[in-house]
């Protein structure tokens, strides 16, 4: 088993944001595993859509605005017709976890209020940190962890949408009640405290000034780490939000990842001896 505690550095358009993100690698390489390279796509999932694509298909998809901060940002401006995915409603604060997951039947009620149907293609965007991808990536992972697979991210978020000529408004959106069926939580992309091996850290960058780096650039960074498609990777941060960006980038490059939802918040409560200010 190889365990590596990585530090993640993400770029937003105006600032450099330092995120403490765990990449814990459980080495599960088989004889048929291949190092990740630009030619390896057997397990990759390209979750991104461009602003140009969304402009052309806006009336064919269910658009979700997952902006979390600032609190009034969605009300002031959003893509026309976009429903607001409110973090304080979509999650709850449990004993150890700031953004804990509801039972599937509860989350189903919430997503139906957003107007999501079983046959919808959902496109999620946000704004702010990590070139607008941080909160959207968390919502994307959440939809997937509840079994909804027809979901995409708008690369570059609201800023990229406006730069491409997309319009915005501040109209109140009250969707018709959806009929989406939510499944049990998917253990293939959700990790809990008990299963994670903790160790040391390093650095990883996956975000550029306009959204995610290209898949080729991320592939090259992953290849330098010696990862293969047979590795099991665990990602985490402070509250399980920033790590969803890493989850999305790894997924696109064909690397299996589980997000540790409790992250450093839970770790500080349950195993404070593993947490220190210097990061060593």
pLDDT one-digit tens code per residue, 124-133: 999 998 889 9
Residues 217 and 160 in one domain: no
Q: How many domains, in total, are found in the chain? A: 2
DSSP code of 118?
Answer: T
Q: What CA–CA distances, in Å, run from 139 to 1, 201, 244, 255?
A: 31, 26, 9, 20
Residues 89 and 159 in one domain: yes
Which of 164, 197, 221 is the C-terminal boundary of a domain? 164
The region of weakest confidence among 99-108, 194-203, 266-275 is: 194-203
Look at residue 13 and tell me whether its pLDDT is greater than 70: no
Look at residue 12 and tell me whether its pLDDT is greater than 90: no
Inside any domain, residue 3: no
For residues 88-95, give the mean pLDDT: 96
Which residues are identified as catalytic?
A: 237
CA neighbor of 207 nearest in space, from 50, 15, 9: 9
Residues 144 and 86 in one domain: yes
């Amino acid at each position: 088993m190889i365990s590596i505690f990585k530090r993640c550095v993400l770029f937003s358009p105006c600032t450099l944001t330092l995120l403490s993100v765990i990449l814990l690698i459980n080495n599960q390489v088989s004889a048929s595993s291949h190092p990740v390279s630009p030619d390896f796509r057997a397990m990759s999932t390209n979750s991104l859509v461009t602003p140009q694509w969304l402009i052309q298909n806006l009336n064919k998809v269910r658009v979700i605005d997952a902006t979390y901060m600032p609190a009034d940002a969605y009300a002031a401006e959003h893509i026309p017709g976009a429903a607001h995915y409110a973090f304080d409603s979509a999650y709850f604060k449990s004993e150890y976890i700031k953004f804990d997951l509801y039972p599937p039947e509860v989350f189903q009620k919430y997503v139906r209020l957003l107007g999501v149907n079983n046959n919808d293609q959902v496109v999620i965007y946000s704004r702010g940190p990590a070139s607008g991808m941080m909160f959207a990536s968390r919502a994307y992972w959440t939809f997937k962890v509840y079994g909804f697979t027809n979901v995409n991210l708008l690369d570059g978020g609201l800023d990229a949408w406006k730069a491409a000529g997309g319009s915005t408004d501040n109209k109140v959106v009250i969707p018709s009640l959806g009929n989406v069926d939510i499944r049990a939580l998917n253990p293939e992309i959700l990790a809990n405290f008990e299963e994670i091996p903790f160790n040391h850290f390093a650095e990883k960058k996956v975000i550029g000034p306009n959204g995610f780096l290209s898949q080729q650039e991320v592939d090259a960074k992953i290849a330098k780490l010696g990862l293969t498609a047979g590795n099991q990777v665990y990602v985490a941060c402070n509250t399980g939000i920033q790590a969803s960006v890493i989850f999305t980038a790894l997924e696109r490059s064909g690397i299996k990842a589980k997000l540790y939802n409790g992250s450093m918040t839970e770790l500080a409560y349950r195993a404070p001896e593993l947490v220190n200010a210097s990061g060593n």
